Structure 1
Amino acid sequence: MKVRTSLRSLKQKPGSVVVRRRGRVVVVNRANPQWKSRQG
């Protein structure tokens, strides 16, 4: 999982879902798990 300062480019990819987990913003992509990342 990558840690990024901004998830704007990742959340626009097809199949991505923005989720809040324990106060962190996480992008999960089932179509391409390589794009899984969190902010912070």
Structure 2
Amino acid sequence: MNKKLIFVFLILLIFGGLTAKIASSRSNISLNESALYPEDI
């Protein structure tokens, strides 16, 4: 049970880090660049 809680916590931590990274990159990248490089989103 403890391993399961740690596993879920790690997933949430990674997911939160990815969303924060995407949000910061979106604020730095213009709309034209995000349209040219959709794989970066």
Structure 1 and Structure 2 fold alike (TM over 0.5): no
More contact order relative to length (CA 8 Å, sep ≥ 6): 1
TM-score by length of 2: 0.30
Work out which of the two has the higher radius of gyration on C-alpha atoms and give 1 or 2. 2
Q: Which has the higher helix share?
A: 2
TM-score by length of 1: 0.30
Q: Which has the higher strand share?
A: 1
